[in-house]
Amino acid sequence: MIKKEMIAMLLAGGQGSRLGVLTSKVAKPAVSFGGKYRIIDFPLSNCINSGVDTVGVLTQYQPLRLNTHIGIGIPWDLDRNIGGVSVLPPYEKITNSEWYTGTANAIYQNMDYMESFNPEYILILSGDHIYKMDYEVMLDFHKEKGAECTIAVMPVPMEEAKRFGIMITDEERKITDFEEKPANPRSNLASMGIYIFNWKTLKEALLANAEQPGLDFGKHVIPYCHEKGAPLYAYEFNGYWKDVGTLQSYWEANMELIDIVPEFNLYEEYWKIYTKSEILPPQYIADSSLVEKSIIGEGSDVYGQVYSSVIGCGVTIGEGAVIKDSIIMNGAVIGPGCELNKAIVAENAIIGKNTKLGIGEEAPNETDPHIYNSGLVCVGEKSVIPEGITIGKNACVFGNTTASDYPGNCLASGKTLIKAGDEK
Amino acid sequence: MRALGIILAGGNSFRMRELSQKRAVCAMPIAGSYRSIDFALSNMSNSHIQKVAVFTQYNATSLNEHLSSSKWWDFGRKQGGLYVFTPSVTAESNFWYRGTADAIAQNLAFLKNSHEPYVVIASGDCVYKLDYNKVLEYHIEKKADITVVCKDMAPGINVDRFGTIKMNEESRIEEFEEKPVVAKSNTISCGIYVVRRRQLIEMIEKCAEEDRYDFVKDILIRYKNMKRIYGYKMQDYWSNIATVEDYFNTNMDFLKADTRDYFFKQYPDVYSKVDDLPPAKYNVGAKIKNSLIASGCIVNGTVEDSVIFKKTYIGNNCYIKNCIILNDVYIGDNTHIENCIVESRDTIRANSYHAGTDGIKIVLERNDRYVI
């Protein structure tokens, strides 16, 4: 009989609406990160580097890019005879058919998948964090403590603790209580959304709560286990871990990669991060260019100037263009003479020559002030911006725009321009 | 699947000087991210040839490492696959490959057990893109016994290390000279042949009986009046890398926009083993002009008119001009390197000076590397 000690379930179905136009066509885990990677590469690489070779990836929102990226798992060595990676979308059942209504509900609906591997432990991961972590060490901790559920936590500054789910523990790291986004936190150990469950415990908890609408780990499953008296432990993690759920944190995490010796170092031999590399050739840096304090992906052609930026694979930057503090994703084309300040340009977008992004005074975004609030200007994937346009800060553009969409060749700070009937 | 492929990758060349100490010519890194054999392998794959044998002999460690999986070139198929044949002691033979024909003779079972009607033979030390199906169609149309892919070299180029060809107006080869001291023609053989499988088996068996071992000398040249041997002229980019100068120039060709466009942007792609390296990184003080930089590099200094291969570290204040820096080289601060090829995995101490004054200098430096 097939027997896997621990299998991973990776929650990758969320939209990540706080990333605005970046997730208008792709799920958050499929968003590009760090030049050539996608966010999901980090948990997937952690899995294989930790010796977890069976991973179920739960998809729901815009799964096409994720599906093609994961394929049969070759880049992560997850193409296995037994186990490997499986993409698990919601499916119709004989009695009902429903979407994944919550994190734990998604796991519940894939009970058969987990059962087929006859596991001892289930590792629950989410596909929206940047970190390197050895799950095997966490499993050792889980076993040593005799826990039924272990929650990975990391210490955060006390003043930020109110943004997280907070665990209160005794000296043995046994969880005595927890609070979701408390006004007056009693501890600074924030949950990272990574759990190890004993399969028996998880199965029992899921079956008992099956009818709960929007079944969620943090809101229902963990409290249920706690109430029943199951030993819950907090595993403290002290490495780099970054939630990239907002435009600001996404931009920051990218910018941290270009430090001289970044805290999150991709250049270490040990603990490689794998991704599907579609573009192989080296990058070409022309005579007319200047590149400083930046990282650039394979196959890009740089004719302009690039400072403090993260550039993806297969990007073209025209002569005379000046890119500062920006993120440009795979396949984008930046025309000659463009000027980009704190811009995020998504995949395969085209920016016409002499267009300027991120110019002028900041103004709050008029449609989504809670999303576009950090002075960034965002251009959605496959969007087109014509020549000679000036675009302000906290602005966003999506769709195939033409000169007539820009009265006075200008899009002021705080404006949102979304075209072609595409909803965000 | 009308043809199977054979790639001759066993060779060594004294013309590669110190560069051949480490590896077979076919494993030489090219254009930042590739190795020489990738071009022949990708051409096979893109021509829908699914069964490919690679014959290796000379120092094949790097090559075998590169060929560790067939999936990069899409040969991991149930029908076909990638086969690597290194000489081995058998009941019939305990010889090394004594020549190209002998290499095929020692592995004749591979040909005999196949069912594809044609064989495409290519060498692994050339940089080019070619749809072998076009050659095959030409071969059938001409009712040829053997078709040799050839190319007109520009007048003035020394062709004395190639086979030179003279054809009649029907493209049938009339003269074939191997490495002539004084060439009568500037049309050279590209080392790519198409032949019917049964025909090849017959000729190879005949050769083996007579203790002849070389495909060019003992088959092409000896049979040229008896068999119908035709030339197929190749028009596009083709370059053989088997001398230091040609190797250097071929890499430098990739600094030209049209060469890059032809190989990197136009369909079909060239495939290679994926190394999972992070994007290249440029720190404050980096100054790059007209250069190719591969992934995994960290650059702090100045680089001009150069090709920098994967995982190279270039220290502060360095000046690199007109160089080829092979994989995984560490260059310490304040180093000046000009007109050089720096061998892979070298560690160059800070404050060094290397310059090729009379041609290309090959830098081999094995120093201790302090991990940063």
Q: What is the pLDDT of residue B93?
A: 79
Q: Measured between alpha carbons, how far is A387 from B170 in angstroms, rounded to an integer? A: 54
Q: What are phi and psi of A242, to 5 degrees?
A: -135, 125
CA-nearest of A293, A303, A305, A301 to A254 is A293
Q: pLDDT tens, B231-271?
A: 999 999 999 999 999 999 999 999 999 999 999 999 999 99
Q: Measured between alpha carbons, how far is A291 from A329 in angstroms, rounded to an integer? A: 17
Split at pLDDT 50, 70, 90, the class of B370 is: low
SS3 B159: coil
Would you say B28 and B35 are in contact if contact means Cβ atoms under 8 Å apart?
A: yes
CA distance B38 to chain A (A): 12
**For residue B328, is pLDDT > 60?**
yes
**Chain A (312-331) residues lying within 8 Å, Cβ to Cβ, of chain B:** 313
Q: What is the pLDDT of residue A421?
A: 56
Residues of chain A found within 8 Å of residue B312, distances taken between Cβ atoms: none
CA-nearest of A73, A103, A104, A105 to A87 is A73
CA nearest to B304 within chain A: A287
Parallel, antiparallel or unpaired: strands A189-198 and A149-155: antiparallel
Is there a contact between A295 and B255 if contact means CB atoms under 8 Å apart? Answer: no
Q: pLDDT tens, B264-299?
A: 999 999 999 988 999 999 999 999 999 999 999 999
Residues of chain B found within 8 Å of residue A328, distances taken between Cβ atoms: none
DSSP assigned state of B140: H
CA distance A28 to chain B (A): 21
Q: What is the pLDDT of residue A423?
A: 44
Would you say A194 and A133 are in contact if contact means Cβ atoms under 8 Å apart?
A: yes
CA distance B260 to chain A (A): 9
- Interface confidence (ipTM) of the complex: 0.90
Q: pLDDT tens, B192-203?
A: 999 999 999 999
Mutation target vs B (from A258, A259, A277, A283; most B CBs, 10 A cutoff) = A283
CA nearest to B316 within chain A: A260
**CA B150 to centroid of chain Cα atoms:** 16
Amino acid, single-letter form, for residue A55: V
Of B339 and B91, more confident: B339
Q: Measured between alpha carbons, how far is A237 from A151 in angstroms, rounded to an integer? A: 10
Q: The tokens of B350 are what?
A: 């800070």
Parallel, antiparallel or unpaired: strands A339-341 and A322-324: parallel
* Whole-structure pTM value: 0.92
Q: What is the pLDDT of residue B172?
A: 95
pLDDT tens sequence for chain A (424 residues): 889 999 999 999 988 888 999 999 899 999 999 999 999 999 999 999 999 999 999 999 999 999 999 999 999 999 999 999 999 999 998 888 889 999 999 999 999 999 999 999 999 999 889 999 999 999 999 999 999 999 999 999 988 888 888 999 999 999 999 888 888 999 999 999 999 999 999 999 999 999 999 999 999 999 999 999 999 999 999 999 999 989 999 999 999 999 888 889 998 888 999 999 888 899 999 999 999 999 999 999 999 999 999 999 999 999 999 999 999 999 999 999 999 999 999 999 999 999 999 999 999 999 999 999 999 999 999 999 999 999 999 999 999 999 999 999 999 999 999 986 544 4
Q: What is the dihedral of CA A281, A287, A290, A293, to 10 degrees?
A: 30
Q: What is the pLDDT of residue A424?
A: 40
Q: Measured between alpha carbons, how far is A8 from A152 in angstroms, rounded to an integer? A: 14
Mutation target vs B (from A284, A309, A329; most B CBs, 10 A cutoff) = A284
Residue B268: asked if its preceding bond is cis (omega within 30°), the reply is yes
CA nearest to B297 within chain A: A267
Q: The tokens of A163 are what?
A: 């943004």
CA nearest to A269 within chain B: B277
Is there a contact between B279 and A277 if contact means CB atoms under 8 Å apart? Answer: no
Q: What is the CA radius of gyration of chain A?
A: 23
Q: The tokens of B289 are what?
A: 């002009």
**Facing residue for B276 by CB, picked from A272, A289, A293:** A272
Q: The tokens of A139 are what?
A: 């499993």
Is there a contact between B264 and A296 if contact means CB atoms under 8 Å apart? Answer: no
CA nearest to B251 within chain A: A282
Q: What are phi and psi of A41, to 5 degrees?
A: -60, -30
DSSP assigned state of A69: H
Number of A–B residue contacts, CB under 8 Å: 106
